[in-house]
Amino acid sequence: MKTIKLGTSNLEVPVIAVGCMRIKSLNKTEAERFVRTALEEEANFFDHADIYGGGTCETIFADAIGMNDDVREKIILQSKCGIRKGMFDFSKEHILSSVDGILQRLKTDYLDILLLHRPDALVEPEEVAEAFDLLHSSGKVRHFGVSNQKPMQIELLRKYVKQPIVANQLQLSITNAAMITNGFNVNMLNDSAVDRDGSILDYCRLHDITVQPWSPFQYGFFEGVFLDNEKFPELNQKIDEVAAKYEVSNTTIAIAWLLRHPARMQPVLGTMNADRLRDCCQAADITLTREEWYGILLAAGNVLP
């Protein structure tokens, strides 16, 4: 498995992150097989959040992997906090209590990375900074990042937070690629020219913040997957054509498309299918040509100006 540096840290991580949001849907045997498959593929970076399954996903994962000190040192754990029922909460009290709960459920003493999950409109960055300092100095969290934040929200945090922001988890797929397409529709009077995220992709690249695309197979907001979907005939035809060339699945090519971008992204998978996980991991060994990458982009309905 190819690796990258996570942000400005010295943490070497696989280019594929294994998302555990749906692990609750698996029985014990299935969960154990899934986790074992990930480790066999050297995809040892596991992404969690305290809200996934109301916390049960972290518990199920810890049991499935047989968490102990030896296992812990061989994996990289990331979790997120900040979403509560009916609100977002970046208060110092909530961040600290959330991390304690996460660590207890994951049966570990520390997180490699903690992300703030969804921007809190009532954030007091001074409180976030205090929470991060306590978590870092106590050894409970080694690195910090955000999720779904745009440049000025990150800048506000950086004014107070001492620790580097190493990652930003953002929705991105072939069919949800506005953060890419608005970059070449500059000064155009079309919908694709609208900058909806403050040029977050360029910002992350400028500040060495690793982009972690979530829902890499989804279109819309959890409306479904675009692969083998009759709503996207041209796109699937193009992906299948490229997949045939490399003798891999269409799943592999969808992830390879993200990895081809020079931002050195780390896609977060959502699949709970062990065989599909293997297909995704194959993408680490494929580098699409410029023609193939643009061909897939255009087949998704994007137009070059």
Query: Helix 56-65 to helix 92-106 angle, to the nearest 10 degrees?
Result: 30
Full residue range of the structural domain in which residue 53 is found: 3-231+264-271
* Res 187: pLDDT: 86
User: HSE of 266 in the Cβ direction (CA atoms, 13 Å)?
Assistant: 31
Domain for residue 198, yes or no? yes
* Res 185: pLDDT: 87
Task: Give the Cα separation of 58 and 48 in Å (integer).
Answer: 7
Domain for residue 224, yes or no? yes
pLDDT at position 223 over 90? no
**HEC letters along 3-40:** EEECCCCCCEEECCEEECCCHHHCCHHHHHHHHHHHHH
3-state secondary structure of 214: strand
Domain for residue 17, yes or no? yes
pLDDT at position 221 over 90? no
pLDDT tens for 154-165 read 999 999 999 999
Domain for residue 90, yes or no? yes
Domain for residue 282, yes or no? no
DSSP state, 50? T
Contact 187, 193 (CB under 8 A): yes
* Res 199: pLDDT: 96
Domain for residue 50, yes or no? yes
| Confidence (pTM) | 0.96
pLDDT at position 222 over 90? no
What CATH number should be reported for the domain holding residue 207? 3.20.20.100
Query: Pick the catalytic residue: 52, 160, 203, 246?
Result: 52
Number of domains in the chain: 1
Domain for residue 286, yes or no? no
Domain for residue 74, yes or no? yes
pLDDT at position 215 over 90? yes
DSSP H helices in the chain: 28-40, 56-65, 69-72, 92-106, 125-137, 151-160, 178-181, 200-206, 233-246, 250-259, 274-282, 290-299
52 in active site: yes
User: HSE of 14 in the Cβ direction (CA atoms, 13 Å)?
Assistant: 29
pLDDT tens for 111-167 read 999 999 999 999 999 999 999 999 999 999 999 999 999 999 999 999 999 999 999
Q: Which of 284, 210, 286 is nearest to 3 (CA)?
A: 284
- Kindly state the percentage of the chain with pLDDT values over 90: 93
